[in-house]
Structure 1
Amino acid sequence: MKQKFSIEGMSCGHCVARVENAVNELPGIQKVKIHLKRSNGTVKFDEGQVNSEQIAEKINDTGYKAKAV
């Protein structure tokens, strides 16, 4: 499955890397692409191992505000 997320609070490339690294720690993640200027990102994942809510929670745990859109 592919899911888009809005992500508030990112201000630099380090923020993007932090979010990408955190999401990639979850099981079932296949691809993560975060866009700083658009304040969003797209995650491709295996629904049998992880869901959108878990991904948003992981992003929120890094200090940013995420929600599936």
Structure 2
Amino acid sequence: MKYRYQINGISCGGCITRIKKTLEEHPEVEQVEVFLQPMGATIVTMNKKLTVEELQGQLNKLEGYTIAEIS
């Protein structure tokens, strides 16, 4: 299932590559799409829905990024 999020702290394409790789390391995450326009808009495809806290925990392997769900 696909879920929409906003990731803050992104400043370049390198950020997107690191975020995508880090989130996709989680066993429940199938695919991550992060967009520059609008900045930080993200679609995460998961086998089982993870909480924002679980996704933030995964993202905390990197420094300076926060994630919030978009309704």
Q: TM-score, normalised by structure 1?
A: 0.82
Q: Given residue 18 of structure 2, which amino acid in structure 1 is its aligned partner?
A: R
RMSD of aligned alpha carbons = 1.5
In structure 2, the partner of 1:41 is 42
Task: State the percentage of identical aligned residues.
Answer: 24
Displacement of 1:31 after TM fit? 1.3
For structure 2, the 5+ residue unaligned runs are none
In structure 1, the partner of 2:68 is 67
Q: Which structure 2 residues correspond to residues 22-33 of structure 1 after superposition, within 5 A?
A: 22-33=22-33
- What is the total number of aligned residue pairs between the two structures? 66
Q: Given residue 37 of structure 1, which amino acid in structure 2 is its aligned partner?
A: Q
Q: TM-score, normalised by structure 2?
A: 0.80
In structure 2, the partner of 1:8 is 8
